[in-house]
Amino acid sequence: MPDSAPQQLLHLVIGGELTDLEHTTFKDLDQVDIVGVYPNYASAHAAWKAKAQQTVDNAHMRYFVVHLHRLLDPGQDAKSSS
Task: Kindly report, residue by residue over 20-61, the tens digit of the pLDDT.
Answer: 999 999 999 999 999 999 999 999 999 999 999 999 999 999
Q: Per the structure, how many domains does the chain have?
A: 1
Q: Is residue 45 part of a domain?
A: yes
* Residue 50 covered by a domain: yes
How large is the average pLDDT for residues 72-77? Answer: 73
Q: Establish if 62 belongs to a structural domain.
A: yes
pLDDT band at 81 (very low <50, low <70, confident <90, very high): very low
Q: 3 in a domain, yes or no?
A: no
Domain of 51, CATH number, reads 3.30.70.2400
For residue 74, the model assigns a pLDDT of 76
CB 19 within 8 A of CB 69: no
1 part of a folded domain: no
